[in-house]
Amino acid sequence: EPEKGPEPGSGPALATGVPLDLRTAPGTGASGGLGAGLAAVGARLLPRYDVLLDGLDLDARLARADFVITAEGALDHQTVRGKIPAEVARRAQASGVPVLVLAGTIGPGAHDVRAVGVDAYSAILPAPMTLVEAIGRSGELLADATERALRIMALGSRLGERAARYAPSA
């Protein structure tokens, strides 16, 4: 006999009281227990990035930005499927703002992020280490990765200036 859940045979009767299929509704899947419960009582579910980024007034900030640096624990094929850095990149791309993602790890399918507006990405970890060590050093590692990224951007800017000096005059 099950310890939790509906009594055997009562599932169809329970399902008739729920106006939406909670098995397939966005926001009710893996780790979506709260979303499923709220949807079952009539709540309107919104993507987390819409709530967060609209609350931060991201679009207005992008209108004033020269570039965006954002971060992700693992940059991989899942990043483009509802992760906040992908939505930041989509919005930045719509505003013509370049995006760099700093990632704890870079996994299979990371290149997919280019399609949503990520111009470049780089790993935060400079060498193999345990998760415990990476978390313990996260502030230092992120600061170092940011400095490396900014130095590469500065190099690109200097190369552009140099190329402009030697370009033929019109």
pLDDT digits (tens, 9 = 90+) for 20-39: 666 666 666 655 677 777 77
Homologous superfamily of 48-166: Glycerate kinase; domain 1 (3.40.50.10350)
Question: Residue 19 has what pLDDT?
Answer: 57
First to last CA, the chain: 84
Question: Residue 78 has what pLDDT?
Answer: 92
* Structural domain boundaries in the chain: 48-166
CA angle, 160 as apex, 155 and 161 as ends, to 5°?
100
The mean pLDDT of 1-22, rounded to a whole number, is: 57
The mean pLDDT of 148-153, rounded to a whole number, is: 92
Question: Residue 125 has what pLDDT?
Answer: 93
- For residue 166, count CB atoms less than 10 angstroms from its CB and return exposed for 0-12, middle for 13-18, buried for 19 or more: exposed
The mean pLDDT of 60-78, rounded to a whole number, is: 94
pLDDT digits (tens, 9 = 90+) for 36-57: 777 777 777 777 677 777 778 8
pLDDT digits (tens, 9 = 90+) for 70-91: 999 999 999 998 788 999 999 9
Is it the case that residue 137 has pLDDT exceeding 90? Answer: yes
The confidence band for 127, taking pLDDT boundaries of 50, 70 and 90, is: very high
Is it the case that residue 10 has pLDDT exceeding 60? Answer: no
Residues 6+ away with beta carbon under 8 Å from 92: 62, 65, 68, 98, 99, 117
Average pLDDT, the chain: 84
The confidence band for 17, taking pLDDT boundaries of 50, 70 and 90, is: low
Rg (CA), the chain: 22
The torsion defined by the Cα of 108, 110, 116 and 117, in degrees rounded to 10, comes to -170
Q: Which string of DSSP letters, residue by residue, matches 58-89?
A: HHHHHHT-S-EEEEEEEESTTTTTT-HHHHHH
* Rounded Cα–Cα distance for residues 126 and 140 (Å): 11
* Rounded Cα–Cα distance for residues 33 and 161 (Å): 54
* Rounded Cα–Cα distance for residues 50 and 55 (Å): 8
